[in-house]
Chain A
Amino acid sequence: EPEVTQTPSHQVTQMGQEVILRCVPISNHLYFYWYRQILGQKVEFLVSFYNNEISEKSEIFDDQFSVERPDGSNFTLKIRSTKLEDSAMYFCASTGRTYEQYFGPGTRLTVT
């Protein structure tokens, strides 16, 4: 069964550093998303991406964040200058012709 994959599974970084989280969506999917979940809290929408551009973003997704689909398979989330409060699980998701989203296993980001 096709699945969304994410790397790395755990990333530790120092405050102020840049991080890139990587995702490989399901191959025939067209719509891609990033979410975050701070420990013990709800899953929060960050951004949706379609046809090589952002289709919607939340208030969390400020200028420190960017997304890119550099080739036909990868979908990346970059955080330019990490803050302590960016520590969270980051989930990538993709969807095809239905509205049903399939999530990757997540990257746990720890900012020290």
Chain B
Amino acid sequence: RKEVEQDPGPFNVPEGATVAFNCTYSNSASQSFFWYRQDCRKEPKLLMSVYSSGNEDGRFTAQLNRASQYISLLIRDSKLSDSATYLCAVISSGGYQKVTFGTGTKLQVIP
């Protein structure tokens, strides 16, 4: 099983739709979780950290399910500008060590 796994997509959704991505991780000792957004040929940009209690930032909601070892990202009211690849990232060991990224899920919001 891959350390961090995502459905590569693409997810093609109409503007205004709600879309959800999941990301599974294999190491039950993983401690920190993040969602990044990456536009074509650009650097990953931090979208949000994922906390145990779940967190929301505007149209974006992130959740962590430790029992099933996955994190999720929900985007409400999709905008054309949300089109990008969404990467989940996991820190498996304590401290500022190795971050493992998933392959990313491509989202295309269509008018």
A interface residues (Cβ-Cβ under 8 A, vs B): 31, 33, 35, 41-45, 48, 50, 55-56, 58, 89, 91, 95, 98-106
Contact = CB atoms under 8 A, between A and B. Distances in A.
A103 B41 CA distance: 13
B22 interface: no
Interface stretch (B9-17, B57-65, B75-83, B90-98): B90-98
Contacts of A100: 34, 46, 49
B69 interface: no
A100 B35 CA distance: 10
B101 A99 contact: no
B43 A42 contact: no
Given A42-B101, A42-B103, A99-B32, A104 B43 contact: yes
Nearest to A94: B96
A45 B99 contact: yes
Interface of B: 32, 34, 38, 41-46, 49, 87, 89, 91, 93, 95-104
A35 B99 CA distance: 10
A100 B43 CA distance: 14
Nearest to B44: A103
A55 B38 CA distance: 26
Interface-centre pick from A42, A45, A91, A98 (highest chain B CB count, 10 A): A42
Contact of B96 (A44, A58, A99, A102): A99
A91 B44 contact: yes
Given A45-B101, A56-B97, 12 more contacts: A42-B103, A43-B44, A48-B97, A55-B95, A56-B93, A91-B43, A98-B49, A101-B99, A102-B46, A103-B45, A105-B42, A106-B43
